[in-house]
């Protein structure tokens, strides 16, 4: 596999050179402010001592693992998926071809969540994680990206759920840090769901100099289910972006997208999502929703829910809302004896809690982190 991986890395490097720096002329990058990322002065990386996770990574380097059978080199199947990622031209995938590789295979029923923590302290780094859920596997995972200093990172997460597997992934980026300590993170997530399998990915996201999560999901067989969503908070001059593409390759599969975003101060947050249904994928059931709260006049939110349907017999819906906390709800709470600030905080807090309702073991910490960022 070494020769194959070397060849793939060469292809990726050449493709990155061809693409050059992203700009707003590209449809997928039209709302991203690249200049702050290009001008970012990176902090020096430093050591982190963390034993409170099954897998610990610091600036893209694996530092500890308590997982039996974890692989640190790709298989032929992994290389095939890397080649597919290269063909897509997604920059995070291209930059992480020759990065630290972590391969995890899930079998049977896992009694406790598998915890992965990636610390970003400074410098430039890349990381690639491949997760294979074997037929019938049942597992919860948590993936945290904790920022300690201004860094630039590209990461790729590839998840395959084979027949009958059921996987839930809780993801949190930013944590208790302020946006000023969060640099650039380009994250690519590729999700494959096969017959009778289900995958739920819920993300709690904090904005930074540039935080961009690309999620590409393929429902490959009947009775496959893919649910993605979460809550995002941007403050100060930070920015955070979700680009989501869920593809129904066959009929009788189900997908859900439900993203909630809050932008304050002079920050920027975007959601760009597409439900794609192939010709002949009848009896597809798909929903996409983006709900957004703009807390200050200087904040900017962009929501682009889209449908790309190539067959007739489907149930598919999409929608977006952008607004401020509901004045009627605030008035109602004030008639119950609450002051204006408390009433507003309850509404905003409830919005975040609803966005993270799909989370498991990470939910309370993720809720607290996002609420703390808003001073709630």
Q: What is the pTM of this model?
A: 0.95
On the question of pLDDT at 186 being above 80, the answer is yes
Q: DSSP letters of 324-365?
A: -S-HHHHHHHHHTT--HHHHHHHHHHHHHHHHTTT--TTHHH
Q: What angle do CA 127, 133, 139 make, to 5 degrees?
A: 95
More confident residue, 187 or 342: 187
- Give 19-68 pLDDT, tens digit per residue: 888 888 888 899 999 999 999 999 999 888 877 899 999 999 999 888 88
Q: How many CB atoms lie within 10 A of CB 323?
A: 10
Contact 352, 359 (CB under 8 A): no
Enumerate residues 6+ apart whose C-beta is below 8 A from 185.
120, 145, 147, 151, 152, 153, 154, 155, 173, 208, 210, 211, 212
> For the residues 102-128, what does the mean pLDDT come to?
95
Which pLDDT value is given to residue 175? 62
Name the token pair of 196.
Answer: 């009778």
Please state the φ and ψ torsions of residue 310, each to the nearest 5 degrees.
-120, 25
Residues paired with residue 280 on neighbouring β-strands, in sequence order: none
- Give 276-330 pLDDT, tens digit per residue: 999 999 999 999 999 999 999 999 999 999 999 999 999 999 999 999 887 777 7
């Amino acid at each position: 596999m070494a020769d194959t991986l070397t060849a793939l890395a060469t292809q990726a490097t050449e493709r990155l050179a061809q693409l050059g720096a992203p700009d707003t002329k590209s449809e997928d990058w039209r709302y991203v402010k690249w200049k702050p990322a290009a001008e970012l002065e990176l902090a020096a990386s430093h050591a982190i001592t963390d034993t409170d996770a099954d897998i610990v990574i610091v600036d893209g380097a694996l530092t500890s693992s308590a997982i039996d059978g974890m692989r640190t080199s790709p298989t032929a199947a992994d290389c095939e998926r890397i080649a597919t990622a290269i063909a897509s031209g997604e920059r995070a995938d291209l930059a992480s071809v020759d990065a630290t590789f972590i391969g995890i295979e899930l079998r049977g029923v896992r009694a406790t969540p598998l915890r992965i923590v990636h610390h970003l302290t400074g410098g430039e780094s890349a990381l690639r994680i491949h997760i294979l859920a074997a037929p019938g596997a049942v597992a919860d995972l948590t993936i945290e990206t904790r920022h300690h200093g201004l860094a630039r990172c590209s990461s790729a997460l590839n998840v395959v759920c084979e027949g009958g597997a059921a996987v839930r992934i809780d993801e949190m980026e930013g944590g208790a840090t302020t946006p000023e300590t969060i640099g650039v993170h380009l994250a690519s997530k590729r999700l494959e769901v096969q017959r009778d399998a289900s995958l739920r990915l819920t993300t709690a996201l904090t904005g930074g100099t540039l935080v961009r999560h690309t999620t590409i999901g393929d429902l490959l067989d009947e009775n496959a289910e893919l649910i993605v969503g979460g809550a995002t908070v941007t403050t100060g001059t930070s920015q955070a972006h979700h680009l989501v593409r869920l593809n129904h390759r066959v009929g009788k599969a189900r997908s859900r997208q439900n993203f909630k975003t809050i932008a304050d101060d002079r920050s920027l947050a975007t959601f760009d999502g597409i439900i794609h249904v192939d010709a002949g994928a009848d009896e597809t059931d798909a929903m996409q929703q983006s709900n957004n709260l703009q807390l200050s006049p200087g904040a900017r939110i962009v929501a682009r829910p889209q449908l790309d349907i190539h067959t007739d017999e489907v149930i598919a819906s999409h929608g977006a809302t952008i607004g401020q906390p509901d004045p009627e709800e605030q008035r109602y709470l004030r008639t119950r004896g609450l002051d204006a600030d408390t009433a507003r905080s309850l509404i905003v807090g409830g919005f975040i809690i609803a966005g993270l309702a799909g989370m498991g073991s990470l939910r309370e910490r993720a809720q607290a982190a996002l609420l703390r960022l808003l001073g709630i």
